[in-house]
């Protein structure tokens, strides 16, 4: 047999370049120009393909990997395992146009994973590669996918560089973590484990024994990388309390600006902290009631400089492009000040009375936006309600919220039922065009009043002949968030409606298709829940 010469290191690239440019413009090495050049190019590509697939160099045998850790969680029911295989096999379409009536399986995967994790099931080993491939392509899937995969995800990630993200991600539920009582095991994993294992360990201990987690973090804090310190510090949000203040005060002097900012944010979420008191003094000096006006008015005098003390307490001195420095500093001070100081500072008034007061010199939006951020940071539902106002207020904001985004964040401080009731009333007043951000913070499945409000608003838009694709985002949310029990009530909307003179051409067909897809998706979600043992 003739000896095959070794290929040039860039032989494949040369062949690809010739194929892209055409052999009339560039022939690969060893191929004569002319009418036979295309055939010769294909022959060379075939040979090189075989060489690339089979041409392994001799090498010493690598050490066999250790067996994968045992997963002691119960296995998935057979029907649920088959469903997972179907969800992972689905790929989103690449073309435009109509979606049809079939459910979007990839959009149901996050919900499926959340339910499977809540039930405590183990991932089928044969589906782990497909699960990790899906998580590689969608970062929003990673926490739930890695929790479901368990410690085997880390084992596989060491063998395949495509899954290396699992070595840095937080598994959030690995099965190989030592118990907090295993002092030696905890210490060993904390000092020698992968980053993902260390984050999972710290989070698990923090959830049970906040002080023990903080003390464990303190043992290696000075030697950690800045980006790792930031992630570890973020874990202190769970169970944050007054005992964390000394550690966080030390972190205010960290060499990383991001670490300092996070430490200051956490301290400002503790109304009794020394940082919160310092911010209260600074913010209080900027805001007062002006009694010289015809009606009581809030007067604002923003700081004229950002001193070193303010910077140490987390105030960022450099304002973003297009933003005034004084308003930038002022907003940060008010945001970090305890909300409890304002009633005493502003005449003993309630939050509702305070946000109703006029604010002089166009400082209203800046002051109210800072109070919104403070209410979210301090999880103060009373102030959140005052700033939200009534759902009937204009779409752009309530008495204090300057945008729908602010309203969405304020809603997140309320209980699930109150949140759903507020958004349902908002939709009943304003319709769906402004409600998308608000729906995103509501609990899943949507409570019955909210689900009815969404369906009623969609039905109104359908009867009006509106463009159905204008509501595609809300319809997609409904597919994932509407209670599956609503499917029967929607059957009457699956038919093609009569199109009025002012209706968009073809809108009726689109609406019928969208409602058919919604109903089929709700029924599939109900089936998926049954397969996972949810009654």
Round to whole Å and give the CA distance between 90 and 162.
Answer: 20
Weakest mean pLDDT among 293-297, 301-305, 358-362? 293-297
Q: Is the per-residue pLDDT at 221 higher than 90?
A: yes
Q: Examine residue 200 and say whether the peptide bond preceding it is cis (omega within 30 degrees of 0).
A: no
Mean pLDDT of 35-54: 84
The partner residues of 122 in beta bridges, in order of sequence, read 75
b/e per residue, 270-292, with b = 16+ CB within 10 A?
Answer: bbebebbebbbebbbebbeeeee
Query: What percent of the chain has pLDDT above 90?
Result: 60
Residue recorded with tokens 């093609």: 496
Mean pLDDT of 320-324: 94
Round to whole Å and give the CA distance between 354 and 227.
Answer: 40
Q: What are the φ/ψ torsions at residue 309 (nearest 5 degrees)?
A: -65, -40
**pLDDT digits 0-9 by tens, 255-270:** 999 999 999 999 999 9
**pLDDT digits 0-9 by tens, 386-395:** 999 999 877 5
Q: Is the per-residue pLDDT at 506 higher than 80?
A: no
**pLDDT digits 0-9 by tens, 80-131:** 999 999 999 976 543 444 457 788 888 899 999 999 999 999 999 999 999 9
| CB 23 within 8 Å of CB 34 | no
Query: What percent of the chain has pLDDT above 70?
Result: 91
Q: What is the pLDDT of residue 171?
A: 44
Task: Give the CA distances from residue 28 to residues 2, 18, 128, in Å, rounded to whole numbers and listed in that order.
Answer: 22, 6, 42
Mean pLDDT of 6-28: 78
Q: What is the pLDDT of residue 502?
A: 61
Round to whole Å and give the CA distance between 186 and 182.
Answer: 6
Candidates 374, 315, 364, 365; CA nearest to 342 is 374
The residue count for the chain: 535
Q: What are the φ/ψ torsions at residue 359 (nearest 5 degrees)?
A: -125, 130
| CB 315 within 8 Å of CB 329 | yes
Q: What is the pLDDT of residue 54?
A: 72
Q: Is the per-residue pLDDT at 181 higher than 90?
A: no
**pLDDT digits 0-9 by tens, 416-429:** 999 999 999 999 99
Helix axes 226-234, 257-268, angle to 10 degrees: 10
Q: Is the per-residue pLDDT at 332 higher than 80?
A: yes
Biggest distance spanned by C-alpha atoms of the chain: 105
| CB 289 within 8 Å of CB 347 | yes
Q: What is the pLDDT of residue 106?
A: 86
Q: Which has more pLDDT, 504 or 411?
A: 411
Q: What is the pLDDT of residue 216?
A: 96
- DSSP annotation of 492: G
pLDDT band at 29 (very low <50, low <70, confident <90, very high): confident
Q: What is the pLDDT of residue 166?
A: 87
pTM for the full predicted model = 0.76
Q: Which has more pLDDT, 466 or 520?
A: 520
Q: What is the pLDDT of residue 1?
A: 41
Q: What is the pLDDT of residue 386?
A: 95
Q: What is the pLDDT of residue 175?
A: 43
Q: Which has more pLDDT, 468 or 70?
A: 70
pLDDT band at 465 (very low <50, low <70, confident <90, very high): confident
The helix (run of H) or strand (run of E) holding residue 298 is strand 297-300
Residue recorded with tokens 């609990």: 443
Q: What is the pLDDT of residue 61?
A: 76
Q: What is the pLDDT of residue 57?
A: 66
Quickly list DSSP for 122-172: BPPGGGHHHHHHHHHH-GGGHHHHHHHHTHHHHHHHTT-GGGTHHHHS--S
Q: What is the pLDDT of residue 3?
A: 44
Round to whole Å and give the CA distance between 118 and 532.
Answer: 10
Dihedral of alpha carbons 479, 485, 488, 490, sign = negative
Round to whole Å and give the CA distance between 229 and 261.
Answer: 12
What is the C-alpha end-to-end distance of the chain, expressed in Å? 68
Q: What is the pLDDT of residue 358?
A: 94
Q: What are the φ/ψ torsions at residue 298 (nearest 5 degrees)?
A: -85, 125
């Amino acid at each position: 047999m003739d000896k095959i010469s070794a290929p040039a290191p860039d032989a494949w690239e040369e062949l690809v370049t010739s194929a892209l440019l055409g052999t009339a413009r560039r022939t690969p090495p060893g191929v004569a120009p002319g009418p036979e050049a295309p055939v010769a190019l294909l022959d060379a590509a075939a040979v090189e393909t075989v060489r690339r697939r089979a041409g392994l160099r001799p090498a010493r045998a690598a050490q066999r990997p250790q067996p994968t850790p045992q997963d002691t969680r119960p296995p998935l029911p057979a029907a649920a395992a088959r469903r997972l295989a179907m969800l992972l096999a689905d790929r989103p379409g690449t073309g435009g146009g109509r979606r049809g009536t079939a459910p979007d399986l990839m959009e149901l995967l996050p919900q499926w994973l959340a339910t499977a994790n809540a039930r405590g099931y183990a991932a089928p080993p044969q589906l782990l590669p497909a699960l990790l491939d899906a998580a590689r392509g969608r970062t929003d899937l990673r926490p739930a996918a890695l929790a479901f995969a368990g410690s085997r995800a880390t084992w596989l990630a060491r063998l395949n560089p495509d899954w290396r993200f699992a070595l840095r991600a937080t598994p959030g539920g690995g099965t190989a973590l030592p118990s907090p009582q295993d002092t030696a095991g905890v210490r060993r994993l904390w000092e020698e484990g992968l980053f993902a294992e260390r984050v999972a360990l710290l989070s698990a201990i923090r959830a049970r024994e906040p002080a023990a987690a903080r003390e464990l973090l303190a043992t290696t804090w000075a030697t950690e990388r800045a980006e790792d310190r930031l992630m570890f510090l973020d874990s202190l949000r769970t169970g944050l309390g007054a005992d964390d203040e000394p550690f966080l005060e030390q972190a205010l002097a960290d060499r990383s600006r991001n670490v300092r900012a996070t430490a200051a944010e956490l301290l400002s979420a503790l109304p009794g902290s020394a940082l919160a008191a310092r911010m209260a003094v600074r913010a209080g000096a900027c805001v007062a009631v002006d009694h010289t006006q015809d009606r009581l008015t809030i007067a604002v005098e923003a700081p004229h400089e950002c001193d070193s003390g303010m910077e140490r307490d987390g105030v960022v001195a450099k304002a973003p492009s297009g933003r005034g420095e004084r308003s930038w500093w002022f907003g940060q001070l008010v945001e970090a000040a305890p909300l409890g100081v304002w009633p005493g500072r502003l005449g003993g008034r309630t939050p509702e009375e305070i946000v109703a007061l006029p604010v002089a010199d166009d400082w209203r939006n800046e002051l109210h936006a800072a109070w919104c951020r403070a209410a979210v940071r301090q999880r103060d539902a009373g102030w959140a309600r005052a700033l939200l106002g009534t759902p009937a207020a204009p779409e752009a904001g309530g008495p204090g919220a300057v945008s729908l985004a602010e309203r969405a964040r304020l809603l997140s401080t309320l209980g699930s039922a109150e949140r759903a009731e507020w958004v349902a009333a908002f939709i009943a007043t304003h319709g769906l065009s402004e409600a998308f951000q608000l729906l995103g913070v509501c609990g899943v499945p949507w409570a019955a009043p909210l689900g009815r409000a969404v369906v009623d608003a969609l039905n109104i838009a359908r009867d009006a002949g509106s463009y159905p694709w204008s509501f595609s985002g809300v319809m997609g949310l409904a597919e994932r968030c509407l209670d599956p029990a609503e499917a029967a009530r929607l059957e009457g909307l699956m038919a093609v409606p009569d199109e009025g003179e002012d209706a968009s051409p073809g809108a009726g067909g689109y609406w019928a298709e969208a409602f058919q897809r919604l109903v089929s998706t709700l029924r599939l979600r109900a089936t998926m829940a049954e397969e996972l043992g949810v009654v």
